[in-house]
Chains A and B, each alone.
Chain A
């Protein structure tokens, strides 16, 4: 057994008098992957931000190689050998791979850059880690997973001995995840301590050596992966027993409400046809970039389509813009919560009511109806179990799960008949996930038709009545819930 490189003892932190970390003990060992799991709001981010020097702890100590350290800012942490790869990465899109790796510390002679040397250094680093990347490519042309690998290489190039990864696989496909795991293995061989934060429990069994469960600012359990039982871990995370993740609800599937026929958008997707019934949950499976989101956006009036027809209850509709779609009873929970779902600077109330301003307004929808806004926000927050300090709290200060609940809530306020959900559980914790699953089933039970786009196959298999598989902008397979399996979905993707 190797020594712990990084040790945290009795760490405490409060915000506005509320203690969010109660005496946390935690250690990461060299050459091991230590997983940190817990619901959103459990204190993972706060803990990591203290390690990275963004926050100062109120009590306790952080030991690096047995010596007490306290970083004033992330740069100091980086220079001492701790680096973090963030959930939302922020590289410089207009710069090349090599320039991104050495940003702020470019090799130079006097005031001149030594570009050739920089390229060589970058190439050497990537080769060491077995990462296949063209160093002269601009970062904006890379995929999410390639950017992630770049960030890892960058972290290693600082000779980091502790690398923290926050939800690294949240937007990766299965093959990309494998690539990431290979790189993590290389890191382990280089005796780096990896702290791995994830909501995807399946992954932990593949990659982690040690698992710590954090709940309500306390470490609930800490044990080697061999001793971890999946169900025990889940109940430790949420603080209660979960019989099963996907709720089963008795529901009836009614007549067809919506049809898409030969929907085509040049260069994006083509000849997409499907129908959707009342009370049905229709899944869309496929790789990232298969065109699923684009089809959803076309139906919802966000993007244009050139050919094809949409039919609502047998009547042809156009959905030229979002307002038409909303009037027709459509709702869409977008994939990118921060970009398309929420006004992060706005309050919970303004976010919640953005979809129904005209409907609840007084005098033909001209005057804003603050009382009604407050009433609806109150009702919906209660229904969705949103944890908040009042309706005027800024959305940015809520956890991912609670933010997602606002997005779902603002759409339920429009009383939709057809709900399109694009990756509705991305980046949120198990507890919130379970609540969203229950909600989806409940909506279906009430007779609403649901389109569920997800990159997590178990989620599709557990939730959907029928699954369509998309690849390169086309529907390449259709599976009923009885016949569907991960293998069959993969087969449909691979064989076309």
Chain B
């Protein structure tokens, strides 16, 4: 009994370990800059982290099965240019649900192609999604002829840039900052992701598949369907991020979200998701995303050179995972 308690205690420490890293970073940045620990800035961090966060939810599903999805950044770009197209120019007056649906359908379709390739054709996930990464990015450039799409519908732009409860004073200056809509998207998406991964039989099957595919099949789990489905989920998340991206930057760019897949994968890994499958949690992913968000926001505030930021980011990610591997996961 005592042993079980001690084990529980240790599990709690390792679960919280990553939270300590997050808190440590927040304390560090707060010391380094007064502008960091303010309500507005903390909300801004979540706003900035929302796109990574939603992509990371889909990525977590894929990683837990033991796969990988390299195509999410490109799918975001493809969905972004299409949704921008359908809320600008001739289509400026269309109801904004149309560009949203277009982006979602593109995401689902790309995800389904990934899923078919991996689950039904037996292509290794790395190769399949790399092909999709190239194809979707290429399609985005072809579609826009490498020109950005501007002048989007104002309501559409408001999706990602609006605030709830923002008020202005007599001079038209911001009186009450309000809460960015993006914060709600982040929270809602995380909640859905958590329920789906940890509270459904579907989630249980994903872990079973990631832990041992053969054993899962012998247990009567439809491994192909499950494997297919996680890529569809990842594609859906990328589609959603596509219209959010177009809305946030008020334009459709074929080079949008370049390299996002790597940031997203590192956020998941920092959050304790194993690249070999079977291990991970949505909670960990969320903390991982926030860590990545806090790191880059803090460095922006301190005015650290962007190129230098990349180097620093690499060091911090390495350190976080090193600590996780060597401190938290010591063998018995």
Chains A and B belong together in one complex: yes
Partner of A326, one of B3, B7, B214, B220: B220
Cβ of A127 under 8 Å from chain B: no
Cβ of A302 under 8 Å from chain B: yes
Known: A16-B6, A302-B218, A322-B219. A366 touches B201 (CB 8 A): yes
The CA of A332 and the CA of B214, in the complex, are separated in Å by: 13
B218, A340: Cβ atoms closer than 8 Å: yes
Q: Who on chain A is nearest to B276 by CB?
A: A345
**How far does the Cβ of B64 sit from chain A's closest Cβ, in whole Å?**
11
A345, B279: Cβ atoms closer than 8 Å: yes
Known: A346-B211, A397-B332. A18 touches B3 (CB 8 A): yes
Q: Who on chain A is nearest to B7 by CB?
A: A389
Most buried by A among B6, B7, B203, B215: B215
Known: A339-B214, A346-B278. A355 touches B199 (CB 8 A): no
**B204 contacts across to A, CB distance below 8 A:** 350, 353-354, 357, 368
The CA of A346 and the CA of B203, in the complex, are separated in Å by: 13
A17, B218: Cβ atoms closer than 8 Å: no
Mark contacts of B201-233 with chain A using CB atoms, 8 A cut-off: 1 yes-contact digit, 0 otherwise: 111110110011011111111100000000000
The CA of A373 and the CA of B216, in the complex, are separated in Å by: 17
Known: A16-B3, A350-B208. A340 touches B215 (CB 8 A): yes
The CA of A368 and the CA of B198, in the complex, are separated in Å by: 8
**How far does the Cβ of B171 sit from chain A's closest Cβ, in whole Å?**
52
B6, A339: Cβ atoms closer than 8 Å: no
B218, A341: Cβ atoms closer than 8 Å: yes
A16, B220: Cβ atoms closer than 8 Å: no
Mark contacts of A281-308 with chain B using CB atoms, 8 A cut-off: 1 yes-contact digit, 0 otherwise: 0000000000000000000001000000
**B208 contacts across to A, CB distance below 8 A:** 343, 346, 350, 354
Cβ of B306 under 8 Å from chain A: no
Cβ of B41 under 8 Å from chain A: no
B203, A368: Cβ atoms closer than 8 Å: yes
Known: A16-B3, A322-B219, A323-B220. A357 touches B199 (CB 8 A): no
Mark contacts of A325-365 with chain B using CB atoms, 8 A cut-off: 1 yes-contact digit, 0 otherwise: 11000001010000111111110001001110110010001
Partner of B201, one of A342, A343, A358: A358
B211, A17: Cβ atoms closer than 8 Å: no
The CA of A350 and the CA of B205, in the complex, are separated in Å by: 9
A410, B203: Cβ atoms closer than 8 Å: no
Which label, helix, strand, loop or mixed, suits the secondary structure of the B interface? helix
A343, B212: Cβ atoms closer than 8 Å: yes
Known: A17-B3, A322-B220, A389-B7. A341 touches B201 (CB 8 A): no
Cβ of A390 under 8 Å from chain B: yes
Partner of B218, one of A16, A332, A361, A389: A332
Partner of A368, one of B200, B211, B220, B279: B200
Cβ of A201 under 8 Å from chain B: no
The CA of A344 and the CA of B212, in the complex, are separated in Å by: 8
Cβ of A112 under 8 Å from chain B: no
**How far does the Cβ of A386 sit from chain B's closest Cβ, in whole Å?**
15
Give the size range of B's interface with the partner: 20 to 34
Partner of B205, one of A18, A342, A345, A357: A357
**A361 contacts across to B, CB distance below 8 A:** 200-201
**B279 contacts across to A, CB distance below 8 A:** 345
**A353 contacts across to B, CB distance below 8 A:** 204
A367, B200: Cβ atoms closer than 8 Å: yes
**A326 contacts across to B, CB distance below 8 A:** 220
A162-198: which have CB < 8 Å to B? none
The CA of A397 and the CA of B331, in the complex, are separated in Å by: 11
Known: A18-B3, A357-B201. A343 touches B215 (CB 8 A): yes
Known: A357-B205, A367-B200, A389-B4. A345 touches B218 (CB 8 A): no
**B199 contacts across to A, CB distance below 8 A:** 367-368
Q: Who on chain A is nearest to B274 by CB?
A: A345
Partner of B211, one of A321, A334, A343: A343
B3-20: which have CB < 8 Å to A? 3-4, 6-7
B332, A16: Cβ atoms closer than 8 Å: yes
The CA of A326 and the CA of B221, in the complex, are separated in Å by: 10
A391-443: which have CB < 8 Å to B? 397, 410
**B216 contacts across to A, CB distance below 8 A:** 343, 354
The CA of A345 and the CA of B218, in the complex, are separated in Å by: 17
**A339 contacts across to B, CB distance below 8 A:** 212, 214-215
Most buried by B among A354, A365, A367, A410: A354
Partner of A345, one of B6, B211, B214, B217: B211
**How far does the Cβ of A396 sit from chain B's closest Cβ, in whole Å?**
10
Mark contacts of A266-282 with chain B using CB atoms, 8 A cut-off: 1 yes-contact digit, 0 otherwise: 00000000000000000
The CA of A339 and the CA of B214, in the complex, are separated in Å by: 6
**A17 contacts across to B, CB distance below 8 A:** 3
B283-332: which have CB < 8 Å to A? 332
The CA of A116 and the CA of B220, in the complex, are separated in Å by: 50
Q: Who on chain B is nearest to A369 by CB?
A: B201
Mark contacts of B254-293 with chain A using CB atoms, 8 A cut-off: 1 yes-contact digit, 0 otherwise: 0000000000000000000000001100000000000000
Q: Who on chain A is nearest to B223 by CB?
A: A322
The CA of A367 and the CA of B205, in the complex, are separated in Å by: 12
The CA of A322 and the CA of B278, in the complex, are separated in Å by: 21
**How far does the Cβ of A31 sit from chain B's closest Cβ, in whole Å?**
37
**A322 contacts across to B, CB distance below 8 A:** 217-221
**How far does the Cβ of A124 sit from chain B's closest Cβ, in whole Å?**
40
Partner of B215, one of A16, A342, A366, A389: A342
Most buried by B among A325, A339, A345, A390: A345
**B215 contacts across to A, CB distance below 8 A:** 339-343, 354
Known: A15-B332, A343-B216. A366 touches B200 (CB 8 A): yes
Q: Who on chain A is nearest to B11 by CB?
A: A392
B202, A366: Cβ atoms closer than 8 Å: yes
**B219 contacts across to A, CB distance below 8 A:** 322, 354-355, 410
**How far does the Cβ of B270 sit from chain A's closest Cβ, in whole Å?**
20
B61-111: which have CB < 8 Å to A? none
B207, A390: Cβ atoms closer than 8 Å: no
**How far does the Cβ of B241 sit from chain A's closest Cβ, in whole Å?**
26
A390, B332: Cβ atoms closer than 8 Å: no
Q: Who on chain B is nearest to A360 by CB?
A: B201
**How far does the Cβ of A288 sit from chain B's closest Cβ, in whole Å?**
19
**What are 29 sample pairs from A and B whose C-beta atoms fall under 8 A apart?**
A17-B3, A302-B218, A322-B220, A323-B222, A325-B220, A326-B220, A332-B218, A339-B215, A340-B214, A340-B215, A342-B212, A345-B212, A346-B208, A350-B207, A350-B211, A353-B204, A354-B215, A354-B221, A355-B219, A355-B220, A357-B205, A357-B221, A361-B201, A366-B200, A368-B200, A389-B3, A389-B4, A389-B7, A397-B332
In order of increasing CB-CB distance, the 6 nearest A-B pairs are A343-B211, A354-B219, A343-B212, A361-B201, A357-B201, A322-B220
Given contacts A343-B211, A361-B200, 20 further A-B contacts (CB under 8 A): A16-B3, A16-B6, A17-B3, A322-B221, A326-B220, A339-B215, A340-B214, A340-B217, A344-B212, A345-B211, A346-B208, A346-B278, A350-B208, A354-B221, A357-B221, A366-B200, A368-B199, A368-B200, A368-B204, A389-B4
| A residues adjacent to B (C-beta < 8 A) | 15-18, 302, 321-323, 325-326, 332, 334, 339-346, 350, 353-355, 357-358, 361, 365-368, 389-390, 397, 410
